[in-house]
Amino acid sequence: MRAGQNVSAERLEDVLALLHAQGDRVTTPRRLLIESLIEAGGHRTAEELAAEVQSRAPDVHLSTIYRNLEELERLGVIEQVRFGGGAATYHLAAARHGHLVCSECGVTIEVPDELFRPLERTAKTRYGFTIDPHHLAMRGRCVACSASEHSPGG
């Protein structure tokens, strides 16, 4: 087993142990959904997750995916994030982080919340406003889209 697979397996077992400790069942669709989120390593829409789960278990319905996403979010296992008007995305609850979202191609980059601490301090001291960097998404342009703007013919 490679190191990445070992970490994924450990993460899966941690999540399943949390569910068991809270008295929740671990059904096949729920396990496949959690595995898909771990393997994704980032944000996925319900439809993307459904496609991944259904590739392994074709009889799992989209309604089952949505029900499980709601329940896993309620339990604090996953988090839902919306970037502007786009579809909701889901990821495993983890260390606090913010997001950089490319306005051109839509790529989302998770960044440590430390990146936003100066903004947090300024918003608090100057405006009395408390920012939650965990749900903060800064829009801009990724390196690839910025480079294509400056390339000939781009």
Q: Looking at residue 47, which CATH number applies to its domain?
A: 1.10.10.10
Residues 15 and 70 in one domain: yes
Q: Name the residue with higher pLDDT: 2 or 30.
A: 30
CA 19 to chain CA centroid, nearest Å:
19
Sheet containing 137-140: order of strands: 108-112, 97-102, 137-140
- Backbone φ and ψ for 102, nearest 5 degrees, come out as -75, 125
pLDDT of residue 98: 75
Which of 92, 116, 131 corresponds to the end of one domain? 92
Residues 74 and 120 in one domain: no
Residue 106 domain boundaries: 97-150
User: Each residue of 65-94: pLDDT tens digit?
Assistant: 999 999 888 887 888 877 666 778 888 776
Q: Name the residue with higher pLDDT: 8 or 154.
A: 8
User: Each residue of 87-104: pLDDT tens digit?
Assistant: 788 887 765 667 788 888
Residues 18 and 85 in one domain: yes
Residues 22 and 73 in one domain: yes
Helix (H) or strand (E) run with residue 81 in it = strand 78-81
pLDDT of residue 2: 40
Provide the domain count of the chain. 2
Lowest mean pLDDT among 59-63, 81-85, 115-119, 143-147: 81-85
Task: Give the residue ranges of DSSP H helices in 2-132.
Answer: 3-21, 28-40, 46-56, 62-74, 117-127
Average pLDDT over residues 28-57: 88
Q: Name the residue with higher pLDDT: 108 or 104.
A: 104
Q: Are 108 and 70 in contact (CB under 8 A)?
A: no
pTM of the model: 0.62
pLDDT of residue 106: 80
